[in-house]
Amino acid sequence: MFSSPKLDMFDPLLGKAPWNVQLGIGSFLTLEFGSPETESFGGKTRVHGQWHLWLQDCAWRVEKGGRINAASGDDHQQLSLAITKLQFGCLEKAVVNDFLDISLDFAGGLRLCTFTMDSSENEQWELFKPDGLVLIAQAGGALIEAPRGGLQPQKPQ
């Protein structure tokens, strides 16, 4: 298991604003950072950022000014509409705790927080990096790094 009171994996995203923030299946949420890149996978072509954050099996919410603007448990249609209206500024601060819950503070006062929902090894979120590797945060606090496509995972350096 890899854990640390200060993980700096989001530092390369500081000063970058997410784009194409989208709600997917259920409460999956994706955010793109950096320049757009075209990727072909499984016969489909998609545009992603150099960095791609995918929230999966975790609870999350977006806060601003002491108010919850959107949360993963909201009605899907209502949540989808709320996400399209949010104005994410540049990422100003990122905090990752020992359980790999994240808190991302954006310019303009928006905060995106994730919360582990169980103690198993379900993937809470994945951060795809420009070097072709992906950081996978598992429930229970395990962080692994693997090539895209899921070859042998390794503990990050």
At 9-68, the pLDDT tens digits run 999 999 999 999 999 999 999 999 999 998 787 888 889 999 999 999 999 999 999 999
Q: Residue ranges of the alpha helices (H) in 6-153? A: 76-85
Number of domains in the chain: 1
- Is residue 116 assigned to a domain? yes
Q: Which domain range does residue 50 map to?
A: 11-147
- Is residue 153 assigned to a domain? no
Strand partners, 22: 30
- Is residue 5 assigned to a domain? no
Could you tell me if 137 and 143 are in contact, meaning their C-beta atoms sit under 8 angstroms apart?
yes
Residue 157 has pLDDT above 50, yes or no: no
pLDDT, tens digit, for every residue of 71-125? 999 999 999 999 999 999 999 999 999 899 999 999 999 999 999 988 887 899 9
Kindly report the pTM of this predicted structure: 0.88
Could you tell me if 108 and 49 are in contact, meaning their C-beta atoms sit under 8 angstroms apart?
no
Could you tell me if 115 and 101 are in contact, meaning their C-beta atoms sit under 8 angstroms apart?
yes
Closest alpha carbon to 48 in 9, 85, 10, 22: 22
- Is residue 89 assigned to a domain? yes
